[in-house]
């Protein structure tokens, strides 16, 4: 696996879950990574131990004091590794409440982290790449919730729908400049955020029933998709949202379980 040899990626939200596995996949494919996470978390120490002391870790809350904080995070990443030519915008959140009880502060933070910060990061890196003639490649993490709705997911679903539209628009804007933009839409994975619910047998059985391949995998299944979209193998793929969901998003309704 050497599709990304000689390339360096900045991966946001990469100290745990899906983002961490994206970074692992890039390294396994021969690339280098600059990691990102919130300040003071145990995940930062764990990531440093896993990836080694030589890997730069950028700390910062991308949703705080926009756009300045996101710009500062991007600049720190470029200072740590000016050769960065791959950007993976993965940092995101889910903090919904029932809609009638939804606190606007939570809706606002969801949009800031899941949408606005991605815009700021992509713009900052794109400007740097255009100025330096770098054919950059970008992957943004969306979700099957960009197309499918769930109860108590109004903020999250809205943000991921915006991400999918943004991927298309960014691709149209940046392709003429030699920068390729695509997205990944994960289905349900086992992560620190979903594990508590999936430990309940009836929840896991229900989700497996609604997934054609009957699998709720760990986040490591995202590695190959990430590498593919960042590699030369995807050189003519622009503005696509690639669903990694075991078929969940294409199945109207599974058969009822046998009594």
**How much is the pLDDT for 42?**
74
Tell me what the pLDDT averaged over the chain comes to.
92
Task: Quote the CA–CA distance of 22 and 7 in Å, as a whole number.
Answer: 14
Query: What is the set of domains in the chain, with CATH numbers?
Result: 8-190+219-243 (3.40.50.720)
**How much is the pLDDT for 259?**
63
**How much is the pLDDT for 193?**
75
Question: What percent of the chain is predicted at pLDDT more than 70?
Answer: 97
pLDDT tens per residue across span 30-48: 999 999 998 776 777 787 7
**How much is the pLDDT for 51?**
86
Q: Are 126 and 136 in contact (CB under 8 A)?
A: yes
How many whole angstroms from its chain centre is CA 48? 20
Residue 1 has pLDDT above 60, yes or no: no
In the structure, what pLDDT confidence band is assigned to residue 4 with cuts at 50, 70 and 90?
very high
Task: Quote the CA–CA distance of 10 and 86 in Å, as a whole number.
Answer: 6
**Calculated CA dihedral for residues 225, 230, 231, 232, nearest 10 degrees:** 120
Q: Which of 85, 182, 190 is nearest to 142 (CA)?
A: 182
Residue 76 has pLDDT above 60, yes or no: yes
In the structure, what pLDDT confidence band is assigned to residue 188 with cuts at 50, 70 and 90?
confident
Task: Quote the CA–CA distance of 9 and 234 in Å, as a whole number.
Answer: 16
Q: Are 119 and 41 in contact (CB under 8 A)?
A: no
Structure tokens at 103: 């606190």
**How much is the pLDDT for 21?**
95
**Calculated CA dihedral for residues 57, 163, 87, 93, nearest 10 degrees:** 10
Task: Quote the CA–CA distance of 48 and 105 in Å, as a whole number.
Answer: 32
How far separated are the first and last CA of the chain, in Å rounded?
A: 47
In a 3-state reduction of DSSP, which class is residue 121? helix
pLDDT tens per residue across span 44-66: 778 777 887 788 999 999 999 99
pLDDT tens per residue across span 189-216: 888 777 777 888 888 888 888 888 988 8
**How much is the pLDDT for 202?**
84
**How much is the pLDDT for 112?**
97
């Amino acid at each position: 696996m050497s599709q990304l040899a000689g390339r360096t990626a900045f991966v946001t939200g990469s100290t745990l879950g899906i983002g961490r596995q994206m970074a692992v996949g890039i390294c396994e494919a021969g690339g280098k990574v600059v990691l990102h996470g919130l300040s003071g978390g145990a995940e930062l120490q764990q990531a440093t131990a896993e990836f080694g002391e030589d890997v730069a870790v950028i700390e910062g809350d991308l949703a705080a004091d926009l756009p300045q904080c996101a710009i500062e995070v991007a600049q720190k990443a470029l200072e740590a590794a000016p050769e960065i030519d791959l950007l993976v915008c993965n940092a995101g959140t889910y903090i919904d409440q029932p809609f009638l009880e939804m606190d606007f502060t939570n809706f606002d933070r969801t949009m800031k982290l899941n949408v606005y910060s991605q815009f700021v990061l992509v713009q900052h890196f794109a400007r740097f790449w255009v100025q330096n003639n770098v054919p950059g490649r970008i992957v943004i993490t969306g979700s099957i919730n960009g197309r499918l709705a769930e109860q108590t997911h109004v903020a999250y679903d809205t943000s991921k729908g915006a991400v999918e539209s943004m991927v298309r628009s960014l691709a149209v804007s940046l392709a003429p400049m030699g920068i390729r933009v695509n997205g990944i839409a994960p289905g349900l994975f086992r992560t620190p955020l979903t594990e508590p619910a999936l430990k309940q047998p009836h929840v896991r059985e229900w989700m497996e029933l609604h997934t054609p391949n009957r699998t709720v995998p760990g986040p490591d299944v995202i590695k190959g998709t990430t590498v593919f979209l960042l590699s030369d193998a995807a050189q003519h793929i622009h503005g696509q949202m690639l669903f990694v969901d075991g078929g969940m998003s294409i199945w109207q309704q599974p058969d009822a379980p046998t009594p």
